[in-house]
Every structure is written in structure tokens, then in C-alpha cells.
């Protein structure tokens, strides 16, 4: 290990200690996260500026910095399956005593899927507005390698018809799916959890003592899991700083500049869809400005963590404690919203890629037939997109293969992927919170007195782990 690497690591450790000092002084979680984000960007930029792009010193330094960055990501992956299971089972058990599961699930999932269709149309509109096309894009070594990986994954996806894809959702071995062994493992785990919840509610009248015991077990399990989740998520400022250091120090600024139009079009589409969410909550009688203020800490966490599933606890707490959504609906919307109808990853992103590729194949991206087909494919394929890193890529593979489009373009976007993924994740989480809010309001289960209070929920609050 050279002296330069040691100096880099000493600086990184000092930055970690600075964030820890903020925590000891009880600086708010949101401020600590943005501090980590800013420090990571600045440190990464300085590394590249001093050592140059592609430096071996940077690569070796990042290997050690990845202990924090990749470690944080692995901890997020660790909590996903137990978190989804206890959240969904708990939601169904609570819905049993409050309202019809069928009505709530239809309304929540229907809202998620409908808004994904709208998101696809918005993605198409912004892509055409900026005149985005895949023509003329060049690829470097990293992009070429990424494209090859996607081509290999495409072979598996192409073999699946829509019927085959639905079959893949069914958990033949739920314990295998709990390990995340398949690309559809997340939705398979969701389905298995639904069966457990429905089965439990089915014995509530015939064997009330057994049901009460099981309900108590689930409550205890959820309490423990949520505490683990809170402990992991409070590491977010440190993980974000490490991840951003890696992204910025390894970025090719020339590629980012070349793809700047795609970044601008993407965020234009994302902000437009955020406005649609606010318009929808306004239509059901919710003050959109107060709503936006209350979900800002949730969107901030989703933006920096880049994980819809990891946002479930804060999502549930925000809906229940800040928006006045009933507990059962909040759990249901947050849990299902992490796998179904993700507006950013499953709606906007694949739509924009398809529009960019279409002209290279002689297809007019403004042709009504193409637009209708694309929106239909995106809507159907939005089921089962995992709420963790890679979900957008999986959604894009399904959509592009269904249209018989090449997938190499996704590899060319590798240099700007993290920049866009943060916004996509925030939009995904916004969609699930909006679905829960709308469902609760339409079913008359929203506590307006809670919504009217001037309070927000963050990971600094013990309510998040409740």
C-alpha cells in the first residue's frame, strides 16, 4: 500500500468521523445524509482531479472505501426479504379488522399501475421533446462490458412469454426466493407473504386463540425486524458518502456531458410525474403543499439510499404518523409499492430507452401505434420490479425484449446511471405514498387531524421503528 493510498484512506476516515460528530451533536438525519452526499461528491471529484481518470491509486483506494459503500448496500439487501414479509403479513392481518382486503388491494394496486402508464407517457413526451436518440452514441470499455452483460441477461428474458413471466412470479420454493436467487424472487416473496396473511385471517373465527398467538408472533417479529432496519438505515450518511466517492471518482466527465440531454430529460420527466402525484392527492381533497412538506424527509431518504424497499419503514411511518393514513393501508401501499407499479424505474426509464432506440430501427417514436404498444407493454411489465438496485435495468430488459429492441443502450448509460437512479427511486416511493394516501382518503379512513398537524417523520424519530 503506497503513501498516497494511505493518505486517501486517512482523509476518508476523517470524513466519516465528521459525520459521526454530527450525529453525536444530534444534527438531523436529513442534514447528515446531505452532508454525506456533498462530502462524497467533493472527495470523489478531488481524487479524480488530483490523480486523473482511471488511476490505479483511485482504484485501490476505492477497494477499501467500498468496505463502507458495498457493506451498506449488502446490509440493505439483507433486510429486504424479512422487511417485505413482516410488512405485508402485518398489513393483511390489520386489514382483516378494518376493511375489505379486496377493495383496498384493487384500489392501491390500480393506482400504482395507472400512474405507471401515465409515467410512461410522460417519459415518451420528454424524450421526444429533447429529440433523444441512440444514434451517434459511442461506448468505452466499461459501457461495452455492461452492454455485453445485458445482452447475456436478455437471452434469458427473451425466452419468457408474458404467460411464462407470470408463472415465474409463483414461488415454487419460497425459501429459495427468500435468498433472492431469481430475478422474480421479490414478487414471489410478496405472493408467499400474501398467502400467509390470507391463511391467517381465514382461521381468525374458527381458531381465534391460534390467530391471536400468530398475530402476536408477527407483531414481535415486525418490531425486531423494524429495529434492525432502523439500525441499518441510520448508516445511510456513511454509505452515501462512500458510494458517491466511488461514483464521482470513477466517472468519465466527457461521457456525462455527452449524455447531459438524457439527464435533463429524465429529471424533467421525473418532476412532471411528481407534479401529477400532487395533482392526484389534490383531486381527492388533500392539500398538496402540506402533503409535499410532510413527505420531503421520505423522498430525501429514498433519493440518497436509491432503494424503494429500504424506504418501507419510513414510508409507513410517514403515511401513518404524518399523513393520517390508516396503519393497514400504509403497510399495504408501502410494501406493494416497492415491487409493483414503480413510476420511475418501471415507467419513465424503459419508455425513454425505447423512444431513443426506435429511430435507429426506422420506427417513428411519435407514431400512435408505437406509443400505445409501448405504454401497454410497460404497464404489464411493471409488476414485480424489485425495489432494490437493478430494478430499472430488469424492467428495461423486459420492455425492450418484448418490443424486439436491442438492449445495448442501457450499457451506454452506465456513467450517468447513479445520477438518474436517485431521482427514479424518489419518484417510486412518492408513488407508493400517494397510492396509500389516495386509497385511505377515498375509503374514509384518513385521520385529517393527524394530517393537519405540523409534523414530519424521519429516521431520527422512534416512530419509524414502531
CATH number of the domain that residue 271 is part of: 1.10.3860.10
CA distance 439 to 441: 6
Rounded to an integer, what distance in angstroms lies between the CA atom of residue 350 and that of residue 355? Answer: 9
What's the grid cell of residue 151? 445482452
For residue 230, give Cα distances in angstroms to 30, 174, 184: 14, 26, 26
Cell 378494518 maps to which residue? 98
Given phi > 0 = left and psi -120 to 50 = alpha, else beta, which region is 55? beta
Main-chain phi, psi angles of 69, to 5 degrees? -65, -60
Q: Which domain holds residue 417?
A: 3-465
The dihedral through the CA atoms of 84, 88, 89, 91 has a sign that is positive
Question: How many domains does the chain divide into?
Answer: 1
- Distance (Å, whole) CA 371 – CA 351: 9
Q: How far apart are CA 168 and CA 183, in angstroms?
A: 9
Q: Alpha-carbon distance 189 to 173, whole Å? A: 10
CB-CB contact of 93 with 218 (8 Å) = yes
Taking the alpha carbons of 341, 345, 346, 348 in that order, is the dihedral positive or negative?
positive
Q: How far apart are CA 228 and CA 47, in angstroms?
A: 34
Full pLDDT tens readout for the chain, 466 residues: 789 999 999 999 999 999 999 989 888 887 888 899 899 989 998 998 888 877 889 989 999 999 998 898 888 888 878 888 888 888 788 775 545 677 888 899 899 999 999 999 999 999 999 888 776 554 544 444 444 544 554 455 445 555 666 677 788 888 888 877 776 677 788 888 889 988 888 888 888 899 999 999 999 998 898 888 888 888 889 998 998 898 788 766 666 666 788 889 999 999 999 999 999 999 999 999 999 999 999 998 889 888 887 888 889 889 999 999 988 888 888 888 887 888 988 899 889 988 988 887 888 989 999 999 999 988 887 775 554 445 676 677 778 777 778 766 655 566 567 778 889 999 999 999 999 999 999 999 899 999 998 887 876 654 454 4
C-beta of residue 409 within 8 angstroms of C-beta of residue 417: no
C-alpha grid cell, residue 323: 399523513
Block residue for cell numbers 390500480: 110
Cα-based distances in Å from 450 to 283, 290, 390, 444, 456: 19, 12, 36, 14, 10
| Triad 445, 311, 184: Cα angle to 5° | 100
CA 66 to chain centre: 21
pTM across the whole model: 0.80
Amino acid at each position: 500500500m503506497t503513501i498516497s493510498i494511505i493518505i486517501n484512506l486517512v482523509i476518508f476516515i476523517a470524513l466519516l468521523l465528521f459525520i459521526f460528530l454530527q450525529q453525536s451533536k444530534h444534527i438531523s438525519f436529513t442534514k447528515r445524509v446531505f452532508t454525506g452526499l456533498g462530502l462524497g461528491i467533493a472527495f470523489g471529484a478531488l481524487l479524480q482531479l488530483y490523480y486523473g481518470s482511471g488511476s490505479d491509486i483511485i482504484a485501490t483506494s476505492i477497494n477499501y472505501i467500498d468496505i463502507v459503500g458495498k457493506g451498506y448496500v449488502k446490509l440493505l439487501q439483507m433486510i429486504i426479504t424479512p422487511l417485505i414479509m413482516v410488512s405485508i403479513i402485518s398489513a393483511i392481518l390489520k386489514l382483516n379488522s378494518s376493511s375489505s382486503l379486496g377493495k383496498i388491494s384493487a384500489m392501491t394496486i390500480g393506482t400504482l399501475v395507472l400512474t405507471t402508464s401515465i409515467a410512461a407517457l410522460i417519459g415518451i413526451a420528454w424524450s421526444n421533446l429533447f429529440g433523444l436518440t441512440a444514434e451517434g452514441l459511442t461506448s468505452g470499455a466499461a459501457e461495452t462490458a455492461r452492454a455485453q452483460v445485458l445482452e447475456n441477461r436478455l437471452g434469458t428474458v427473451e425466452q419468457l412469454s408474458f404467460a411464462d413471466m407470470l408463472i415465474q412470479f409463483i414461488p415454487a420454493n419460497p425459501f429459495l426466493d427468500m435468498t433472492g436467487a431469481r430475478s422474480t424472487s421479490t414478487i414471489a416473496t410478496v405472493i408467499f407473504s400474501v398467502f400467509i396473511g390470507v391463511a391467517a385471517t381465514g382461521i381468525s373465527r374458527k381458531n381465534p386463540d391460534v390467530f391471536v398467538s400468530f398475530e402476536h408472533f408477527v407483531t414481535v417479529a415486525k418490531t425486531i425486524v423494524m429495529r434492525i432496519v432502523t439500525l441499518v438505515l441510520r448508516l445511510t450518511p456513511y454509505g452515501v458518502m462512500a458510494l458517491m466517492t466511488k461514483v464521482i471518482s470513477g466517472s468519465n466527465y466527457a461521457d456525462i456531458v455527452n449524455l447531459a440531454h438524457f439527464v435533463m430529460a429524465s429529471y424533467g420527466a421525473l418532476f412532471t410525474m411528481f407534479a401529477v402525484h400532487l395533482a392526484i392527492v389534490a383531486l381527492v381533497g388533500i392539500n398538496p403543499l402540506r402533503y409535499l412538506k410532510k413527505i420531503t424527509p421520505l423522498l430525501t431518504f429514498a433519493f440518497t439510499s436509491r432503494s424503494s424497499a429500504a424506504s418501507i419503514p419510513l414510508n409507513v411511518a410517514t403515511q401513518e404518523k404524518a399523513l393520517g393514513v390508516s396503519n393497514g393501508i400504509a403497510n399495504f401501499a408501502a410494501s406493494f409499492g416497492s415491487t409493483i407499479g414503480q413510476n420511475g424505474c418501471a415507467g419513465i426509464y424503459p419508455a425513454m430507452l425505447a423512444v431513443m432506440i426506435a429511430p435507429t430501427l426506422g420506427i417513428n417514436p411519435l407514431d400512435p401505434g408505437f406509443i400505445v404498444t409501448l405504454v401497454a407493454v410497460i404497464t404489464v411489465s411493471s409488476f414485480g420490479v424489485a425495489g432494490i438496485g437493478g430494478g430499472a435495468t430488469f424492467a428495461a430488459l423486459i420492455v425492450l425484449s418484448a418490443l424486439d429492441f436491442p438492449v445495448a443502450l442501457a450499457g451506454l448509460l452506465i456513467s450517468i446511471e447513479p445520477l438518474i437512479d436517485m431521482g427514479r427511486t424518489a419518484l417510486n416511493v412518492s408513488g407508493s405514498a400517494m397510492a396509500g394516501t389516495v386509497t385511505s382518503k377515498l375509503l374514509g379512513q384518513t385521520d385529517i387531524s393527524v394530517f393537519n398537524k405540523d409534523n414530519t417523520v424521519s429516521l431520527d424519530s422512534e416512530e419509524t421503528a414502531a
